[in-house]
Structure 1
Amino acid sequence: MRTTTVGDVTILLPDLDPEGLHQITDLPDDDLHDGLMQDASWRGQQIADRNFRGCRITEADLGEINWEGGALYGCEIVRTDLSGAALTGVNIERCSVTGSRLTGSRLIDVRLKDVLFGNCRFDYATLNRVSAAGSVAFTDCTLVHGTWSSCRLSGVALRSCDLSDLELESCRLDGADLRGNRLHAFAAPLDNLPGVALTENELPELDRMAVDALNIDVRADASRGHGR
């Protein structure tokens, strides 16, 4: 059993046997088990109610795919282009996604369990009603200019990520580990963030969010510099 730990979150990783994988080039018409997709291009393809299990997808072009229903289980996705992809109602479990590009992607009603995103680009991505049913971590990811709404991501780990200009609306990140992130212009209602873990370096950004949320009028001290 392969695992990795990000902060306090331990994730079960896929444990693939490279010799047991068979090469796949074209998108199959049904479920796929133990496939190896390398340098394949499925750009713009439609995928419905398809299950991939124990597969490795590496250096593939899956940009602008539209995947509805089905599941990814025990899969590795490496250095793959998923920019502009739309995943709706997909279950992702015991998977790792590393070095991949998800710029402008849309994840809707996606369920995550034991999923690691490492060194991925989620800039301008939209997450809507994405839920964490188990351990989930983002590490060294770029999440700038994204929009997350109505997500249930309690206890996730976001470590060493760039969250600049990321907007959260009606999301649950209670107990999330946000240590070591860049939070410039990060926007979230404070009641979305109960119990999150931060370092002292992130506190000024939290202060800014509190000032904005409470509409506090910060002024210079009028009495400073005047004698009595």
Structure 2
Amino acid sequence: MDSRKVRRASVTLPALDELGVYLSNVTSLEGRRGRVVEFQYADANLRELDLTEAHLLDGRIQRLRTQRARFHEVRADSVQFSDCDLSSLKWSGSKLSRVTFSNCKLMGALLEEVTLDNVLFENCKFDYSTLDQVRATGPVIFSKCTLRETTIRTCDLSSVTFEACDLRLAEFEGGTYRGCDLRGNDLTTLRGVAELKKALIDRAQVAELAEALAAELEVTYGEDLDDE
């Protein structure tokens, strides 16, 4: 199986190009008994998309655009999302395994109680989104993604690697981040840096974390005071 490696993290990618896998074009993600297998779903422009208790297995979802999408108890195994606009998506109570998102818009999205195992987000926009009780049980990579003003609340991101991401004003609220790899990212404007206990950084980033903490504490620098 193909994989994507960033530093210590290696994500196993969907095995859609293996011999014997044929993808059929489908016009809906609502399959028989909630199960869609070996499929290709492309170029849909929807006002709403609601999926509940569904299983997506071995498929490609391309250029899907929705104004509002809700996925609840949706399991995805070996699925590729590419060039999709899923802004304001609400995805809850689900598990994703061997799933990739490339060039996708997830601005304002809510991922709640979602388990991630071998998941790659590449060139995706998560600005103003919320990750709530998201748990990484296997390797997860965010590569060249924007997470501006994203709230990361009570998550377990111990197996997550961030590579060249925009984390401006991203805020951490509780959770577990032991071994979370933040090397190579600008951390100067992070909020909630005290939550990042035992995260993995470069020594040069210590100054960035100090700057972020000082901003969060709203300290006053003595040399800026008028002592006259």
C-alpha distance after superposition, 1:82-105 (max 9, x if no partner)? 101100111001111111000011
Report SS of the residue matched to 1:190.
helix
C-alpha distance after superposition, 1:127-146 (max 9, x if no partner)? 10000010001000000011
Match of 1:39 in 2: 43
For residues 184 and 172 of structure 1, the distance between their equivalents in structure 2, rounded to whole angstroms, comes to 20
Tell me by how many angstroms 1:184 deviates: 4.1
| Structure in which a larger fraction of residues adopt strand | 2
Report SS of the residue matched to 2:147.
coil
Picking from 202, 208, 213, the partner of 2:211 is 208
For residues 165 and 214 of structure 1, the distance between their equivalents in structure 2, rounded to whole angstroms, comes to 14
Tell me by how many angstroms 1:64 deviates: 1.6
Contact map agreement 1:180 1:199 (CA 8 A) in 2: no
Report SS of the residue matched to 2:10.
strand
Tell me by how many angstroms 1:217 deviates: 4.9
Consecutive unaligned residues of structure 2, counting only runs of 5 or more, are none
Letter in structure 2 aligned against 1:9? A
Tell me by how many angstroms 1:177 deviates: 1.2
Contact map agreement 1:190 1:209 (CA 8 A) in 2: no
Say if 2:83 is the partner of 1:101.
no
Letter in structure 2 aligned against 1:81? D
Matches within 5 A, 1:188-227: 188-198=192-202, 200=204, 202-212=205-215, 217-220=220-223
For residues 160 and 102 of structure 2, the distance between their equivalents in structure 1, rounded to whole angstroms, comes to 17
TM-score using structure 2 length = 0.89
Consecutive unaligned residues of structure 1, counting only runs of 5 or more, are 223-228
Tell me by how many angstroms 1:195 deviates: 3.6
Match of 1:20 in 2: 22
For residues 100 and 224 of structure 2, the distance between their equivalents in structure 1, rounded to whole angstroms, comes to 52
Contact map agreement 2:143 2:164 (CA 8 A) in 1: yes
For residues 46 and 30 of structure 2, the distance between their equivalents in structure 1, rounded to whole angstroms, comes to 11
Matches within 5 A, 1:150-161: 150-161=154-165
Match of 2:60 in 1: 56
Tell me by how many angstroms 1:215 deviates: 6.7
Q: How many residues are treated as equivalent by the alignment? A: 221
Say if 2:6 is the partner of 1:6.
yes
Match of 2:176 in 1: 172
For residues 132 and 166 of structure 2, the distance between their equivalents in structure 1, rounded to whole angstroms, comes to 20
User: Once the two structures are aligned, what percentage of the paired residues are identical?
Assistant: 29
After superposition, the Cα gap between the structure-2 partners of 1:12 and 1:107, relative to the gap in structure 1 and judged at 3 Å, is: same
Tell me by how many angstroms 1:176 deviates: 1.3
Letter in structure 2 aligned against 1:5? K
Picking from 147, 151, 159, the partner of 2:151 is 147
After superposition, the Cα gap between the structure-2 partners of 1:162 and 1:45, relative to the gap in structure 1 and judged at 3 Å, is: same
For residues 221 and 20 of structure 1, the distance between their equivalents in structure 2, rounded to whole angstroms, comes to 67
Letter in structure 2 aligned against 1:103? M
